[in-house]
A and B are shown apart, each in its own frame.
Chain A
């Protein structure tokens, strides 16, 4: 996998239902949109019609939530076929999903559960990512999730695990900066150490989002503006990985589109600043 094979998209936002009409009617300035793939796995009607219209004017990325690449159930071939159909129809810049498991025994928890960080799990997940990539006939990106628990028998750190999976599977990485921040707090590790350990050549996209503070833990709720500490971590990541395609996620308490546009502009400003700072330092 060569990350230069992926287009340089700039800064986008997640396309969500409350903004459909605004995006279609006003065609706002936005570099690209990411959509939740499963929301468009329907036979017809408004969602697909909207996506057609949006795709005519913007690049899109298909972001999945149910690949369950870490599950011990067989890969869901029907699901992958539907994903491949969507990809054929909408020609996304790329497809991503999460480094997690979402269910077992044919049942879906509709949540992104962490995996034990062991060599065996690396082998298991990497094989399934390779199978997925073969079926989709493209490299995919896998995303680090926010987590609230870790397993007693883990022998690797999360960043060692993520890097090993990506290397073994030969896939790209969607690095969620907020998820690193949330998990760093919840598990007591250093977020910058995590970022420093991720292979530069595999990172194709960043996610940015807001979280909520529950005192003893942080919850990845996507219902707040991006926090100052996450913006700082984003700049730190840009200094390491360069100006990677960035996506602002908001799934709850969804504000006016203008507010997301302002956050996208902020990401552009900070990304440019971090790149310049890094360049200056390098000289």
Chain B
């Protein structure tokens, strides 16, 4: 048999969502008996059982990876629902990347249109946050702007200073406070139902560890500007506008201190 045909048939049989037997039934030219044309069986293990070893390995390997990447989503759904979720997910989003680390990258998208949302309306937000934590963990490295470097500038240089966000920073617009669910599962506690949002959540990486917290008043517009690259003056204006404070200077100083110590900002070449 031609190699490409062989591989395509095996791919379909191994990934058949209803298992090898259903897959074989669908392969028109290939009933259980026909499988002998492809695969040798013997007294100990039939051709069908040999194929089933690969089919089980395919599903359970990806289920394990998704459970590891989405521990809170899995905890909320429980084993049976999560199992069924991944079965459906793999049908719509079969892995295409060489690295298995990307296997779950579309799970949140898949959940947005999933019936599980009826009883757990926060579930897609939860998966979004868990996936974002992984993306931040693996995002590109960059040298953050240090407070010392900023202090070294003369005050006249500050307004025109070009700033950007570190590549590992993400700002999520969520409808539910799913960060409490992630935190509970991280701490080994049962997942609690989140309260409704809206929630603007900051995700960042500092010293190789990923952190997250709700944005504070005054931060959202400024960090959104920085995401596209902006000046220090524009950031100050954004903080002032968003906070509505008569004297925004203390707030700006306080937020800037937080951003710098968390390594959120980069200095861009003008």
Spell out A's residues near B (CB within 8 Å).
38-39, 41-49, 66, 68, 71-72, 76, 79, 101, 103-111, 113, 115-116, 120-121, 124, 148-153, 186, 188, 216-217, 219
Contacts and interface: CB of A to CB of B under 8 A. Distances in A.
Interface string B202-223: 0001001000000000000000
Interface stretch (B117-125, B135-143, B177-185, B229-237): B135-143
A188 B42 contact: yes
Given A39-B101, A46-B137, A104 B96 contact: no
Contact of A71 (B7, B51, B97, B137): B7
B99 A38 contact: yes
Given A44-B140, A148-B54, A217 B44 contact: yes
A110 B40 contact: no
Contacts of B4: 72, 104
A152 B185 CA distance: 49
A195 to B, nearest CB: 23
A111 B53 CA distance: 11
Contact of B98 (A108, A153, A219): A108
Contacts of B61: 110-111
A152 B8 contact: no
A72 B3 contact: yes
Interface in B14-70: 14-15, 36-40, 42, 44-45, 47, 49-51, 53-54, 57-58, 61-62
A46 B1 CA distance: 46
A263 to B, nearest CB: 24
B51 A149 contact: yes
Nearest to B8: A104
Nearest to A101: B7
Contact of A217 (B53, B103, B140): B53
Given A110-B58, A110-B61, A153-B1, A104 B98 contact: no
Nearest to A49: B208
B48 to A, nearest CB: 10
Contact of A42 (B40, B62, B138, B142): B138
25 contacts: A38-B98, A42-B101, A43-B140, A43-B167, A46-B137, A47-B138, A72-B4, A101-B7, A103-B11, A103-B95, A104-B7, A105-B8, A107-B11, A107-B15, A108-B100, A109-B14, A111-B54, A111-B61, A116-B6, A124-B3, A148-B45, A149-B40, A151-B6, A152-B36, A152-B37
